[in-house]
Amino acid sequence: MRRKGKRVTACFLTAAMVLTAASGCQGSGKPLEPDLKALETGAGEDGKMLGQETGEGADESEAKAGTAKTEDEDWMKNQKYETGRSLEAEEPKDADILPEDYEGWNRFLEEKEISREFAKGLDQFAYKSGSAVLKGTEGNGNYSPLSLYYTLALAGCGARGETAGQILENLGVEDRKELADQCSKLYQWYVYQSQKEREMMEQYGIEGYRSAIRLGNSLWISGQLAVGEEYQKLAAEKFFASSYGVDFADPETAKRMGAWIAGKTNGVLEPQLTLDPGTVLAILNTLYFYGGWTNPFSPEMTQEDSFTLKDGTSVTVPFLNRTEWEGAFRKGEGYTLSYLSTDNNCRMVFLLPDEGKNVEEFLENPQKLQSALETEEEDWVNAKVIWKVPKFEFASSYQLNDILKAMGMERMFGQTAEFGGISSDPLLVSSVIQESHIGVDEQGVEGAAYTMMAMARGAMIENEETAEMILDRPFLYGIRDDSHGVWLFLGVCQNPAEEGGEAAEMAEALLKKAESDVILTSAPEIYLTDPLSSTMNNFLVMPGDYSWNWKQDQKDGEMVSLVACGSHPLEYKPKQEDMLKIPNYNKQTEVGYVLHCAVMPRTVTVREWDISQQGKQETALPAETVYQDEQTILLKHDKIYELVAEWPQEELEKNGFFGSASYVVMTD
């Protein structure tokens, strides 16, 4: 799915949710309640129900408000605030249900179903934010409304007063307790539905089943910020968000956050984050999606052809081709809509404007986008659909501050922001960013996104018509979870030959600049991360043998060389705590680990010995696997591995160094 060496990785210079001492922050500036009582009632800082106005029943409301304030004051006396406190969230454990127990699975998943009202709110948020984000996109654009929703939900559960009102109104919920409960259900539904599908495929003997929808949440907390214990517990219990106490001035924090994102998105996204040292809180959400086509395209049918760009010029790209004799489509005013189903009960919807129309017309406002994309099952026409889909892959990056303000959530960015449910210290949001990736090939579609908020302080109608989904000009698309009617991704493809739009190009330029500032004078450290683990701990692997060369002076090109020698890998005798502990995931024989490094090597050759061969280097011949421009390597239990990484000399001008290094890992 990802073309080797072509992934755009964004480098963001983020401002922070900055800690401010300005008077007027959070209303009176008094510590506000991060309590479950307020979560249950949806009360704001003034004690009123969110959105409640004066008038009939106002006296009763005022009486309740006074009682709530008294209760909150009593509760605050026992409230605990701790600075930089870490709290590990426990991911949902696998359900103890046999794959063949269909009724048991159905009952279990029904308990995790979200309400119709919540699903409607998700839908409306997708159209409103999707129109705002994608409108005016000159190049390609890929956006995840669900990822942004979860980020705002985590912030909204700690917001109070008008700040909470603005956030919750946009999220389509009335109170924080309902928001947290529904977000928890949807998170768990995706976890357990993926477990069910995976185990069923294993039972049927189908190997390599990749389809999944995975969410991830986390809080990154500065040692300068005192965060309420109840908020952290809520984040852990409802959003399965671990809290990490960090120092945002330490470059390792940005690396850890990038590694967490990479692990949660299966290595699709590996952002190089640059954080403002004044950051005191960062809220992170990730979304990973892979859906294999229900009916994959035949690679033999893939052919190159022309794609007409917006300006009338054309580019040559590979197209996937096939004809569905019982496909589904709808012809609307100025467009044709159709979809391709994936094996995890999702669909990728494509909107192809008629000749003479352009995609911008359907992005003008949320109503037009919703009218075009939202189709009742009885509206689909069952007939022949001729498909011609360009293979495409690109990344997008968005700074969302102005968009969120325009949507009516401006208060959280100002000095009067109220986040008393998070901390007794005044906070405001300074930066909300999202990076995402989308890729389509013969086998399926893969999408990934992360959103970070930084704080400084289908019955078919029989028809003989034919639809031609000849996507050889700009088109819109979306990935929709049919189980809940949730839009996971929305996007526009203007040029499938490009890797990204203007934002992604800017991000790539920033990344190149950041990488050019890293002149390594010795072989770098390598970290291994298990992306399936909830702990996201990095295993550090230091270099042993290496031959290293670098430019000491970038102007005159003076080179310095360094050679280091170590013992043979089979002579490696680590302590128990220095061995890599491979988890037992449903008795898998090998687990994929994401490799992280300051500057990624071109190739990694992995040599493997059984642990019983330790000390027998004269007779032991290793198995050998070469990974080219890949970040995920497969490791097994009870093995000795030598990782030989190479940074080629031809990249000297870009990196300022070249060389090779070996790393030794023993697994438990």
**With 50 as the cut, is the pLDDT of residue 267 above it?**
yes
Query: Residue 190 — pLDDT band, cuts 50, 70, 90?
Result: very high
Residue 575 has pLDDT above 80, yes or no: yes
* Rounded percentage of the chain residues whose pLDDT exceeds 90: 47
> Rounded to an integer, what distance in angstroms lies between the CA atom of residue 562 and that of residue 546?
8
Written as one letter, the residue type at 422 is: I
Lowest mean pLDDT among 214-228, 246-260, 319-333, 569-583: 569-583
The domain locations on the chain are 13-29+94-291+400-456, 299-394+459-504, 520-666
pLDDT band at 63 (very low <50, low <70, confident <90, very high): very low
Structure confidence at residue 317 (pLDDT) = 93
User: Which residue, 505, 345, 409, is CA-closest to 8?
Assistant: 505
Q: Which residue has the higher pLDDT, 343 or 512?
A: 343
User: Binning pLDDT at 50, 70 and 90, where does residue 139 land?
Assistant: confident
Estimate to the nearest angstrom the gap between the alpha carbon of 56 and the chain centroid: 45
**pLDDT score recorded for residue 644:** 94
CA angle 533, 535, 539 (to 5 degrees): 85
Q: How far apart are CA 372 and CA 350, in angstroms?
A: 10
Q: What are phi and psi of 507, to 5 degrees?
A: -65, -40
Which pLDDT belongs to residue 442? 93
Start-to-end Cα distance in the chain: 31
Confidence of residue 659 (pLDDT cuts 50, 70, 90): very high
Per-residue model confidence as pLDDT tens digits over 453-501: 999 762 333 456 778 888 888 888 888 888 777 887 788 888 887 764 4
Q: Which residue has the higher pLDDT, 19 or 545?
A: 545
Q: How many CB atoms lie within 10 A of CB 622?
A: 18
- Residue 113 DSSP one-character state: P
Structure confidence at residue 531 (pLDDT): 66
For the ranges 38-42, 93-97, 245-249, 488-492, the lowest mean pLDDT is seen at 38-42
Cα 238 to Cα 157, 177, 178, distances in angstroms = 10, 10, 11
Residues whose CB is less than 8 angstroms from the CB of residue 71 and which lie 6 or more positions away in sequence, other chains included: 37
| Whole-angstrom distance, CA of residue 578 vs CA of residue 492 | 47
pTM above 0.75, yes or no: no
- Are 308 and 322 in contact by the 8 Å Cβ rule? The answer is no
Pull the structure tokens for residue 668.
């438990």
- Please give the single-letter amino acid code of residue 34: P
d(CA 435, CA 398): 6
Asked if pLDDT for residue 594 goes beyond 90, the answer is no
Whether residue 559 contacts residue 550, with contact meaning beta carbons closer than 8 Å, is answered with yes
Write the pLDDT tens digit of every residue in 361-408.
Answer: 999 999 999 999 988 888 899 899 999 999 999 999 999 999 999 999
Average pLDDT over residues 287-302: 93
Tens digits of per-residue pLDDT, 111-138?
999 999 999 999 999 999 999 999 888 8
CATH architecture of 13-29+94-291+400-456: 2-Layer Sandwich (3.30)
The pLDDT score that the predictor gives to residue 105 is: 93
Spacing of C-alpha 66 from chain mean position? 42
CATH of the domain spanning 299-394+459-504, picked from 3.40.1260.10, 3.50.50.60, 2.30.39.10, 3.40.630.30: 2.30.39.10
156-180 average pLDDT score: 95
Mean pLDDT over all residues of the chain?
81
Amino acid letter, residue 43: A
pLDDT number for residue 586: 58
- CA torsion sign for 434, 591, 252, 10 is negative
Q: How confident is the model at residue 81 (pLDDT cuts 50, 70, 90)?
A: low
